[in-house]
Structure 1
Amino acid sequence: MSSSSSSSSPINTTTDSTAPMNRPTSILTPSNHLQLKLTKDNYLSWKTVIIPYINGNKILHHVDNDSAVPPQYIASPSSPTTLVLNPAYASWFEIDQLLLSVLMSTISESLVPSLVGLSSSRAVWLALEKMFSSQSRARVMTTRYTLATLKKGNLTITDYFQKAKACTDLLASIGEPISDSAITSYILAGLPHDYDSLIATVNTQVEAFPLDELYGHLLMHELRIDQQALSTPDITAPTANFAAKTS
């Protein structure tokens, strides 16, 4: 009996000392940080909000890597033929259940019935991806079309640039990033003829303009156009005065 008691003591000590080290003390509460509820119409926006939360807690592998799950049972140190609960799995399971609780708390009640029976955060994550995959593809196509047909029109450079940037940021957030050179091409293609000289300058550069530098050049060119418009003489005023004197 004494040997049995002494052999069980180290195992209990190891389990107790390992669990607190892996305990997810940093996991956040959804009520304070995740206000956006997933509905049938906002999956991409929800995903954009939830991924930084998961990344910030260093637990993204719980939803995007099935091989990260440790074995549930391992051989006992005292008896290789006996299986015991793996402390690493116990810690993983605790974190995963907390993450699953967070995910479910951000999903609207109308979608919850579709997730009944799923017991891990990865299972819920994959189910949602499958559920909204067609919607995501449609959103990507729509955003790319908006970007390709974007025109400055009566917009200021600031509004025009931000509108283009919003499209590219959305594509990047859903795994469809666009290179800076491609973004530059889209922005230049939507400018009016007043910007032809700037377009020619950018296109003759050997290296692509960084986006912030391109934005600065666009603002300067817009200011120059506005100044030229103010300095152009108004020929209608002298004509009106001459007509008044003649009469």
Structure 2
Amino acid sequence: MWKAQVLAAARGSHLVRHLIGAMFAPAKEIEGKINDKPVQVSNPAYEEWYATDQQTRARAVNTRLALATAQRGNQTIVEYVGKLRTLSDEMASAGRPLEDEELVEYIITGLNHDFDPIVFILVERVEPVPVSDLRRAWN
């Protein structure tokens, strides 16, 4: 379901080709003419590509900062995990999808000390913990 939502947002923003790496940068300069003499001029297509690419990168940086600084606070655990899942979806739509294990790391980093026993058990596990398994850990 999240994939459909992310793809819809990416298509609506005309970013799909940027995100999947199919949109290569056009040449920075193209051949033009001044007084009938060939000269190199700035390529407007490159400038447009660059602006779009930078917007995608800025979005990814801002979203990663939000993930890194997220705290559970007064939210229920379900609300908190939902918020971080939404941020993870934002990363995917910006072309920087998170691995499940990385999302779990962000989630447990923002928990308060009430969750220390559970966090300790999760950190000590040898195999990665899927986000879907976290709910069972808190029940």
Same fold by TM-score greater than 0.5? yes
Contact 2:57-2:94 within 8 A present in 1 as well: no
Q: 2:90 aligns with which of 170, 179, 182?
A: 170
Q: 1:64 aligns with which of 3, 19, 22?
A: 22
| Post-superposition CA distance 1:191-223 (Å, at most 9, x none) | 0111001001101111011111113323x1xxx
Distance 1:148 1:200 in 2: 19
Give the residue type in structure 2 aligned to 1:47: A
Distance 1:156 1:188 in 2: 14
Give the residue type in structure 1 aligned to 2:75: L
1:212 to 2:132 alignment:
yes
Contact 1:161-1:215 within 8 A present in 2 as well: no
Larger Rg: 1
Distance 1:65 1:143 in 2: 22
Give structure 2 stretches of 5+ with no counterpart: 1-6, 25-44
1:150 to 2:108 alignment:
no
Question: Deviation of residue 47 (structure 1)?
Answer: 2.0
Contact 1:149-1:190 within 8 A present in 2 as well: yes
- Higher helix content, 1 or 2: 1
Question: Deviation of residue 158 (structure 1)?
Answer: 1.1
Give the residue type in structure 2 aligned to 1:204: E
Question: Deviation of residue 64 (structure 1)?
Answer: 3.0
Contact 2:59-2:94 within 8 A present in 1 as well: no
Identity of aligned residues (%): 31
Give the residue type in structure 1 aligned to 2:22: D
1:201 to 2:121 alignment:
yes
Query: Normalising by structure 2, what TM-score?
Result: 0.66
Distance 2:103 2:72 in 1: 14
Distance 1:65 1:208 in 2: 34
Q: 1:134 to 1:65 in 2, by over 3 A?
A: closer
Distance 2:114 2:11 in 1: 37
Distance 1:143 1:171 in 2: 6
Q: 1:198 to 1:132 in 2, by over 3 A?
A: same
Question: Deviation of residue 157 (structure 1)?
Answer: 0.9
Distance 2:90 2:23 in 1: 24
Distance 1:202 1:157 in 2: 16
- Higher strand content, 1 or 2: 2
Q: Secondary structure at the match of 1:155?
A: coil
Query: Normalising by structure 1, what TM-score?
Result: 0.39
Contact 1:168-1:183 within 8 A present in 2 as well: yes
2:109 — aligned with what? 189
Contact 1:48-1:173 within 8 A present in 2 as well: no
Question: Deviation of residue 168 (structure 1)?
Answer: 0.9
